[in-house]
C-alpha cells in the first residue's frame, strides 16, 4: 500500500504516446522508483513537450530515450541496468539517438555509468531535471554531458494538461533528506531538505483542480519535515490547512512521513481538515531499539508508540501503513522477534517489507555483521506471512460497512468502478442495477461484501 515504495512504471509510460508517426523530435521515457521519480518524469515530459518533442511509447521510434532510475536497493539498480542494456541497442542501430540516464542511480554512479555503457550520452541526477533541455542542446557540441549538483527546488514546470490523466495529481512540496539512516542512499542522491513556499503549492493545487483533478498527493522524502529549513516559518500542519482551503479539491494525501518529524500541529490538522484523508504512512523499519539505534533512525519504539497513540486518539479511524527492513546489520533472532511483536501491536493496515541491501557510500555498507542471506530471506517470509494474515483480518473487519470511494477507474463493460477508500484501501464495486455508472472523480458509497488482502469488493449504493 505504500505508493512511495513501488517500483512502478510511470503513468507516462502507459499513456503519453501521442501518435504513431516517426520524426526526429520524439522521446520515450521509462521510470523506475518512487512517486518522486514518477513526478520528475512528469516534469521532464512537460519540458520536452514545451521544447517541441512528442512522446512515443515505442523506444525504437524515439530520438531521445530517457531512463529515470532508482538506486534505493540493489534490485533497483539491476532493473535499470537491464533495461539500459536493451535500450542501448537502439542507439547501436541509430547513432543519432540520444540515450539519457536520469534519477538517483545516475546521481550515485555518475561517470561509472558511462564506463559500464559508453553508449550513454547524458547522465544527470534528480537535481538536474530542470536543465534537461539545455543539456540536450549541449550534446550537439559535446559527445557526452555529465552535470554536477545544484540542489535548489525548482517550481513544477508541467502544466496540468501534460500530466498523466486521472483524478489524482502528485505535488512535490519538500525534497531531499537531512537524516542519515545508516543503510540509506537517498540523502546522497536527493541532497539536503528543501521546501517549496506554501503559496506556490496552493497555486499549483488550484490550477490542478481547475484542470479537473480531485485529489492531490503531497510528496516529500520527509514530507512532514516540511518547512524546517524554509524562511516562511510554516509547518507541515500549516501546509495541510492551506491546501485544505482550496475549493473544489476533494481529497489530500501525503507521503512519506518520518517518526522524528511528527508534531502536534500535524495531528491537529489531520483531525480538523476534512479533505485530509485518515491515512498515515509512517515507516518503523524495525521493532528493536538496538537496531533502530544502529540504523540511526533517531527514535525509539516507545516514541513511535507514543505518536501512534496520539494520532489514533485524535483521528480514531486513521489507517497506519509502514516500511520494515529485515536482515539489517547485527539483527539477531531477538531483534527480529521485536519487529514481529511491533507488527502485532500496531496492527498496520499495510506494510512494505524489504531485505536489507547494502548500498555503496552509506555508513552500513562495510559493516561486517549482516546476517546470512538465507536467514534474512526466512525472516522476510515469516514477516510477510504474518502481515498478510493481519491485513486480511483488518480488511475482513470492513465487510458490511459502507466505504466512500473516489472513483479512479470506470469499466463500463464489466459494470464496475474502482478507487480508494479514505483509508487508502483499494475498493472495487459493481453496480446493482441498470443505473448509469458513476463518473471518474465522483465520490460514491460502496457497501462492502467481501475482501482479499489486496482490498475490498462491494456494490455501488
Ligand atoms: N524517507 C522515507 C523512506 C525512503 S526509502 C523514510 O525515512 O521513511 C523507502 C524505504 O526503502 C525505506 O523506508 C526503507 O524501508 C527502504 N530502504 C531504504 N534503503 C534501504 C536499503 N538499503 N535496503 C533495504 N531497504 C531500504
Ligand atoms: Fe533514507 Fe532515512 Fe532519509 Fe528516509 S529518513 S530518506 S530512510 S536517510
Ligand atoms: Fe526514490 Fe529510488 Fe531515488 S526510492 S528517492 S527514486 S533512490
Atom of ligand 1 nearest to the CA of 364: 22
Atom of ligand 3 nearest to the CA of 190: 5
Select from 1.10.3470, 1.20.1300, 3.30.450, 2.40.50 the CATH code of 402-460: 2.40.50
34 CA from centroid of ligand 1 (Å):
11
Structure confidence at residue 79 as a pLDDT band (50, 70, 90):
very high
310 CA from centroid of ligand 3 (Å):
30
Distance of CA 160 to the CA centre of its chain: 19
Task: Give the pLDDT of residue 146.
Answer: 64
Question: Can you name the residues that pair with 254 across neighbouring β-strands?
Answer: 218
Q: Please spell the DSSP secondary structure of 104-155, one letter per residue.
A: HHHHHHTHHHHHH-TT--EEE-GGGGGGHHHHHHHTTTSS-EE-------PP
Q: Is the pLDDT of residue 239 over 90?
A: yes
Residue-wise pLDDT for 41-63, tens only, equals 998 998 899 899 999 999 999 99
4 CA from centroid of ligand 1 (Å):
10
Structure confidence at residue 153 as a pLDDT band (50, 70, 90):
low
Which ligand sits nearest to residue 31's alpha carbon?
Answer: 3
Query: Is the whole-model pTM more than 0.85?
Result: yes
Atom of ligand 2 nearest to the CA of 190: 6
Atom of ligand 1 nearest to the CA of 285: 15
CA distance 457 to 234: 40
CA distance 249 to 214: 5
Atom of ligand 2 nearest to the CA of 221: 6
At 168 the three-state DSSP class reads strand
Residue ranges of E strands in 243-290 = 251-255, 279-281
At 422 the three-state DSSP class reads coil
334 CA from centroid of ligand 3 (Å):
31
**Quick one: residue 189, left, alpha or beta (phi over 0 = left, psi -120 to 50 = alpha)?**
alpha
Residue 423: other Cβ atoms inside 10 A: 19
Cα torsion at 91, 97, 98, 99 (round to 10°)? -30
Task: Give the pLDDT of residue 142.
Answer: 64
Mean pLDDT, all residues of the chain: 90
Residue-wise pLDDT for 251-308, tens only, equals 999 999 999 999 999 999 999 999 999 999 999 999 999 999 999 999 999 999 999 9
The mean per-residue pLDDT over the stretch 136-143 comes to 73
Which ligand sits nearest to residue 284's alpha carbon?
Answer: 1
Structure confidence at residue 143 as a pLDDT band (50, 70, 90):
low
Q: Please spell the DSSP secondary structure of 328-364, one letter per residue.
A: -TT--HHHHHHHHHHHHHHT-SEEEEEE----TTSGG
Is ligand 3 within 6 A of the CB of residue 34?
yes
**Cβ within 8 Å of residue 95, ≥6 positions away:** none
Task: Give the pLDDT of residue 152.
Answer: 60
Task: Give the pLDDT of residue 127.
Answer: 84
Select from 3.80.30.20, 3.40.50.720, 3.20.20.70, 3.40.47.10 the CATH code of 168-396: 3.80.30.20
Angle formed by the axes of helices 198-210 and 236-244, nearest 10°? 30
The mean per-residue pLDDT over the stretch 205-221 comes to 94
CA distance 144 to 147: 10
Q: Is the pLDDT of residue 1 over 60?
A: no
Is ligand 2 within 6 A of the CB of residue 295?
no
The mean per-residue pLDDT over the stretch 18-33 comes to 75
Structure confidence at residue 9 as a pLDDT band (50, 70, 90):
very low
CA distance 124 to 145: 8
Superfamily of domain 11-150: Methylthiotransferase, N-terminal domain (3.40.50.12160)
Is ligand 1 within 6 A of the CB of residue 299?
no
What angle (nearest 5°) sits at the alpha carbon of residue 193, between those of residues 307 and 74? 85
The mean per-residue pLDDT over the stretch 221-245 comes to 91
Is ligand 3 within 6 A of the CB of residue 16?
no
CA distance 53 to 25: 5
Phi, psi of 201 (to 5 degrees): -65, -45
Most confident of 7-21, 166-180, 263-277: 263-277
Task: Give the pLDDT of residue 130.
Answer: 82
Residue position matching grid coordinates 533541455: 133
Higher-confidence residue of 112 and 423: namely 423
Higher-confidence residue of 433 and 316: namely 316
Phi, psi of 71 (to 5 degrees): -140, 20
Structure confidence at residue 241 as a pLDDT band (50, 70, 90):
very high
Pocket mutation for ligand 1, best pick of 183, 184, 292 (most atoms within 8 Å of C-beta) = 184
305 CA from centroid of ligand 1 (Å):
20
Q: Is the pLDDT of residue 64 over 60?
A: yes
CA distance 110 to 101: 10
Q: Is the pLDDT of residue 150 over 80?
A: no
Residue-wise pLDDT for 353-373, tens only, equals 999 999 999 999 999 999 999
Cis ω for the linkage preceding 197 (within 30 of 0)? no
Residue-wise pLDDT for 373-396, tens only, equals 999 999 999 999 999 999 999 999
Structure confidence at residue 131 as a pLDDT band (50, 70, 90):
confident
The mean per-residue pLDDT over the stretch 94-104 comes to 92
Task: Give the pLDDT of residue 155.
Answer: 62
Is ligand 1 within 6 A of the CB of residue 108?
no
Task: Give the pLDDT of residue 218.
Answer: 97
**Cβ within 8 Å of residue 313, ≥6 positions away:** none
Structure confidence at residue 16 as a pLDDT band (50, 70, 90):
very low
- Structural element, H or E, at residue 294: helix 289-295
187 CA from centroid of ligand 2 (Å):
7
Is ligand 1 within 6 A of the CB of residue 190?
no
Question: Quick one: cell of 250?
Answer: 476533494
CA distance 23 to 63: 8
Asked if residue 299 lies in contact with residue 326, where contact means CB atoms within 8 angstroms, the answer is no
Instruction: Return the residue whose CA atom lies nearest to atom 5 of ligand 3.
Output: 186
Is ligand 2 within 6 A of the CB of residue 181?
yes
At 363 the three-state DSSP class reads helix
CA distance 243 to 246: 5
Phi, psi of 10 (to 5 degrees): -65, 150
Domain ranges of the chain: 11-150, 168-396, 402-460
Task: Give the pLDDT of residue 294.
Answer: 98
The 8-class DSSP code of residue 360 comes to: T
Residue-wise pLDDT for 301-346, tens only, equals 999 999 999 999 999 999 999 999 999 999 999 999 999 999 999 9
Task: Give the pLDDT of residue 330.
Answer: 97
At 196 the three-state DSSP class reads coil
Asked if residue 92 lies in contact with residue 111, where contact means CB atoms within 8 angstroms, the answer is no
Amino acid at each position: 500500500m505504500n505508493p512511495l515504495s513501488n517500483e512502478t512504471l510511470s503513468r507516462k509510460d502507459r499513456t503519453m504516446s501521442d501518435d504513431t508517426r516517426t520524426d526526429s523530435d520524439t522521446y520515450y521515457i521509462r521510470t523506475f522508483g518512487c512517486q518522486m521519480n514518477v513526478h520528475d518524469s512528469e516534469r521532464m515530459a512537460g519540458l520536452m513537450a514545451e521544447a517541441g518533442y512528442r512522446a512515443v511509447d515505442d523506444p525504437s521510434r524515439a530520438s531521445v530515450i530517457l531512463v529515470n532510475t532508482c538506486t534505493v536497493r540493489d534490485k533497483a539498480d539491476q532493473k535499470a541496468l537491464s533495461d539500459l542494456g536493451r535500450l542501448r541497442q537502439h542507439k547501436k542501430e541509430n547513432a543519432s539517438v540520444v540515450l539519457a540516464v536520469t534519477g538517483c542511480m545516475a546521481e550515485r554512479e555518475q561517470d561509472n555509468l558511462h564506463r559500464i555503457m559508453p553508449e550513454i550520452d547524458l547522465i544527470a541526477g534528480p537535481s538536474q531535471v530542470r536543465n534537461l533541455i539545455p543539456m540536450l542542446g549541449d550534446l550537439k557540441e559535446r559527445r557526452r554531458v555529465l552535470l554536477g549538483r545544484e540542489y535548489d527546488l525548482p517550481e513544477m514546470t508541467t502544466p496540468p494538461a501534460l500530466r498523466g490523466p486521472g483524478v489524482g495529481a502528485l505535488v512535490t512540496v519538500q525534497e531531499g533528506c537531512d537524516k542519515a539512516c545508516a543503510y540509506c542512499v537517498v540523502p546522497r542522491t536527493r541532497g539536503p531538505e528543501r521546501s517549496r513556499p506554501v503559496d506556490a503549492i496552493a497555486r499549483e493545487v488550484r490550477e490542478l483542480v481547475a484542470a479537473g483533478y480531485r485529489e492531490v498527493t503531497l510528496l516529500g522524502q520527509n514530507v512532514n519535515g516540511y518547512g524546517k529549513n524554509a524562511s516562511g516559518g510554516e509547518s507541515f500542519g500549516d501546509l495541510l490547512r492551506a491546501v485544505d482551503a482550496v475549493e473544489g479539491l476533494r481529497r489530500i494525501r501525503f507521503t512519506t512521513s518520518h517518526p522524528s518529524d511528527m508534531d502536534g500541529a500535524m495531528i491537529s490538522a489531520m483531525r480538523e481538515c476534512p479533505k485530509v484523508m485518515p491515512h498515515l504512512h509512517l515507516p518503523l523499519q524495525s521493532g528493536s531499539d538496538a537496531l533502530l539505534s544502529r540504523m540511526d533512525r533517531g527514535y525509539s519504539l516507545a516514541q513511535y508508540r507514543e505518536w501512534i497513540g496520539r494520532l489514533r486518539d485524535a483521528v480514531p479511524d486513521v489507517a497506519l501503513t509502514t516500511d520494515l527492513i529485515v536482515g539489517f546489520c547485527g539483527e539477531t533472532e531477538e531483534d527480529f522477534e521485536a519487529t514481529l511483536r511491533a507488527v502485532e501491536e500496531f496492527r498496520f493496515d499495510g506494510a512494505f517489507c524489504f531485505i536489507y541491501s547494502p548500498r555503496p557510500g552509506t555508513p552500513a555498507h562495510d559493516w561486517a555483521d549482516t546476517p546470512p542471506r538465507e536467514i534474512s530471506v526466512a525472516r522476510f517470509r515469516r514477516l510477510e506471512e504474518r502481515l498478510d494474515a493481519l491485513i486480511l483480518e483488518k480488511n475482513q473487519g470492513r465487510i458490511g460497512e459502507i466505504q466512500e470511494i473516489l472513483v479512479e477507474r470506470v469499466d463500463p463493460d464489466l459494470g464496475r468502478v474502482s478507487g480508494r477508500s479514505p483509508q487508502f484501501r483499494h475498493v472495487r464495486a459493481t453496480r446493482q442495477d441498470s443505473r448509469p455508472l458513476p463518473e471518474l472523480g465522483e465520490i460514491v458509497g460502496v457497501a462492502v461484501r467481501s475482501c482479499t488482502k489486496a482490498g475490498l469488493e462491494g456494490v455501488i449504493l
